[in-house]
Amino acid sequence: MKTLALVLFPGVQSLDVSGPMDVFAEANAFLPPQRHYRLVTIGTTPSPIRASNGQQLGYDLALDAAGTDYDIVLVAGGPQLAQQADNPQLSAWLREVAQTAPRYGSICTGAYLLGRAGLLDGKRATTHWSDAARLAVEFPLAQVEHDRIHVRDGRLVTSAGVTAGIDLALALVAEDHGQAVSLAAAKRLLVLAQRQGGQSQFSPYLSEASTPESLATIIQRHVMDNLAQPLSVEQLSAVAGMSTRSFARQFVKEMGVTPAEFVQRARVDAARNLLEGSELALKTIAYRCGFGSPARMRLVFAQRFGVTPNQYRDSFLVCHG
């Protein structure tokens, strides 16, 4: 019997707790009693702990009485965790448990707790796509992989945002008991046993610019209104009323990507939404989003996500249907 500990704190994302725990609990239904997971929750403040959604959560053990004898230790994430100060007691406990636990890690922004304990230094890790850049800056010795559902580096395991904790838990079950048990648990929870591609396929690429008349806003609006058109750098610079060189330089400064990359992301994002929310033929989606042909759209999806548009559509329908 393996013991799994999951760490809670004020402002924790409740799904980061319940999602993985449900995976291990469902896996127990397909295992003999002597191979069950024993699930333990650990709290950093007096019970109950209030989650980010307002829910009150109890726990089994307080941090100061938790000990370190666990087979798997995971710290959950929370929407404000990146902005919170270090918890020295928790950091010390995590460093101690990491010395002996066969596997330890984080769900979503729980990676920040590992980073503050020095456990990401020299390691590959991931977190929610919207926090990955900040994680890389705050912990420069870590190798942050921005587009991974979950990452294994030795005994360290980390996952992307929220529901990716379920993916990580399913992967751990598969390691322990094989794909058949992991698949059975996934079917019980009506989720995919293994999501294909990176987390960017499940998140919007484009964010609103800060001011309505900024260069970024003008170009974004034009691109989204004219996706079926070629949208070359020369055409976009004409829309902006600038020389091609000046436009490209200013656009990168404001948006952090080249105009060509922005257009490609916009096309992919639009195609993603049509695949999720419509039954349009791939040829129609490819034309509307400016890929020109289904073959070109398939190539771009394969390069960016490792899946075809049809596989993406099938995955979304399985997850949400």
Would you say 167 and 150 are in contact if contact means Cβ atoms under 8 Å apart? Answer: yes
Is 319 considered catalytic here?
Answer: no
Q: Which of 21, 40, 107, 108 is catalytic?
A: 108
Distance CA 314, CA 282 (A): 13
Query: Which stretches of the chain are DSSP H helices?
Result: 14-28, 88-98, 111-116, 132-138, 164-177, 179-189, 215-225, 233-240, 244-255, 259-277, 282-288, 294-305, 309-320
Beta bridge partners, 151, equal 158
Burial letters 87-97, b for 16+ CB under 10 A, else e: beebbebbeeb
- Helix then strand then coil, in percent of the chain rounded to 5, is 50, 10, 35
Q: Catalytic site residues?
A: 108
